[in-house]
Amino acid sequence: MSPVTTRILATGAYLPERVVPNEALTQFPAATLPLIAEKTGISARRYAADDESTSDLGAKAARRCLERGGVSPDEIDVIILATSSPDRIQPATATRVQELIGARKAYAFDVGSVCSGAVFALHMADALIRSGGARRVLVVASELYSRSHLNPRDFSTCACLGDGAGALLLGPGEPGTGILGSRLHTDGAGADLIQVPAGGTMLPYERMERKQDAFFLMRGKDVQDFVTTHGTAVVNELLAELGVDRRDLAFVVPHQANITVLQELAERLAIDFSKFVVTLDRYGNTAGASVLIAFDDLVTSGRVKSGELVALVVFGGGLSWAATLIRI
């Protein structure tokens, strides 16, 4: 009997209808607005509607994914939701996604690893399918920073982040196809570099002395150094482990941090930047959802062909970083 591997059966994504171009960020001086596209590569982002929550975005991406895969919600065994902007502290946001899509036979839980969360969730789904613990797993990554985490006066973060969700439907496949392998890493010594300081047990809101502690904070230069160093290393590590030459990669789908980071990552990996999938110009940095949104964009565009190799590489709070290699 051939060993079971994990195949990607379908992809899906949802971007809110409200488009927010750089020119709409009028809380910042007009002279600074051209710098957003120049420094980050972002021309616009999407913001959720007032009646949309993180689970709503995730459910809409999940429905599109299931429709493309021709799979009923009742056939789903597990829902794994990656998010760093949950509906509520509890319960898991995945439980509301389960209810919204009608996947009543599935169990559902969240993964919190910030911008690396989608690949962490993908690795867990792969393990469940390979072990025989599940046949149909729905991985969803959904983020809504515009309402919960963004300081509207912080140019370094507000100008970059947007809302959106992506989804993958996974099931058993033949050896040599689908997910070939993953590598995951965490370094808790850098936990303070990317954070929302208040709202948990370390700093409850009622003990908060600075308003900005309720918002997303990032030490940009330190994070950029971490991303380019560790993002490069984890891709090299994965390719070496699987015996794959970087020249055989058809595409690289990275976390959509900013254009400078992605260009430096491509240079360090010695991979032509034309192979990098970039959606941040249209959608901004959608945190943990960005890699699945970009992967859906690649698949639905028809650019990637059956049998081609695609690497996903992510990096985020924790500090965390990871890579997955997929044969389409």
Active site residues: 115, 255, 285
- DSSP class of residue 105? T
Cis geometry, peptide bond prior to residue 34 (ω within 30 degrees of 0): no
Q: Which residue has the tokens 């992809």?
A: 11
Residue 160, token pair as written in the block: 């970059």
H helix and E strand count, the chain: 10, 13
Q: Which tokens hold the place of 168?
A: 């993958």
Count the neighbouring beta carbons within 10 Å of the beta carbon of residue 130.
15
Q: Tell me how long the chain is.
A: 328
Q: Which two tokens stand for residue 103?
A: 């996947």
The separation between the first and the last C-alpha atoms of the chain, rounded to the nearest angstrom, is 23
DSSP label at residue 16 = -
- Interacting residues of 208 by C-beta distance below 8 A, sequence separation 6+: 198, 214
Determine the 3-state secondary structure of 75 from DSSP.
helix
